[in-house]
Amino acid sequence: MGADKQLLVVGGKPMLLGVLDALLASRVDGVVVVTRSEIACHIPPRPRLTIAQNNVADSEMIDSVRIGLAAWRDAGAAAETGGFLVCPGDHPGIAPADFDACMDAFRARPTQIVLAARAGRRGHPILFPASDVPFVESSACDAGLHALPRAFSARVRLVDCASAAVTMDIDTPEDLSAGRSDGDDR
């Protein structure tokens, strides 16, 4: 799109900061954001926030997920974690209440893989148990995190969310235009 997508302004602030604000306003225990150094320098320090860098230009989202898991483990917090929530930085507009609803569903049945949904359509965030980390770090997930719910479909629970943003990511200028004008608190 000709610019660092995560720094494009949606709702009056860089897209990534909007996602982080919503996450940190939820009941999430902590956040690890994985991004490139040119973007990381725009993220102000905040309580419960760890920044990890992925400066490999042609890396995939699963590479960033794995870097985030390693950063969490390196911080010594992995033993305290029952699970992990993953949300891409290009999903602005997800409300803290949607993150909380997904976390509540996960905490009620912590062996499940929880996916946010809207009108039956799967989206983000995804939450998975810490016991699934070896699968996520294995070659079975090399094509992407979507392999996890596909491999363990009997454990998948969809949580219907109020924000349409759970199924809307910003990948094109048209997506950006829609994200700026859809009235979903962006």
Query: Is pLDDT of 91 > 90?
Result: no
Residue 17 CB burial class (10 angstroms; 0-12, 13-18, ≥19): buried
Strands, E assignment, 65-185: 83-86, 113-118, 121-129, 156-160
Return the CATH number of the domain spanning residue range 5-181: 3.90.550.10
Q: In angstroms, rounded to a whole number, what is the distance separating the alpha carbons of residues 124 and 166?
A: 5
Query: Is pLDDT of 181 > 60?
Result: no
At 27, the pLDDT band (50, 70, 90 cuts) reads very high
Query: Is pLDDT of 185 > 80?
Result: no
CA dihedral 117, 118, 123, 127 (to 10 degrees): -30
85 SS3 class: strand
Q: To which residue do tokens 């569903």 refer?
A: 105
The pLDDT of residue 84: 94
The pLDDT of residue 125: 97
At 5, the pLDDT band (50, 70, 90 cuts) reads confident
Model pLDDT for residues 106-126, shown as the tens digit of each residue: 999 999 999 999 999 999 999
Model pLDDT for residues 38-62, shown as the tens digit of each residue: 999 999 999 999 999 999 988 999 9
How is the chain split into domains, by residue range? Answer: 5-181
- Give the relative orientation of helices 15-25 and 96-108 as an angle to the nearest 10 degrees: 50
Model pLDDT for residues 129-146, shown as the tens digit of each residue: 999 999 999 999 999 999
Q: Do the Cβ atoms of 61 and 145 come closer than 8 Å?
A: yes
Rounded to two decimals, the pTM is 0.88
Q: What are phi and psi of 128, to 5 degrees?
A: -140, 155
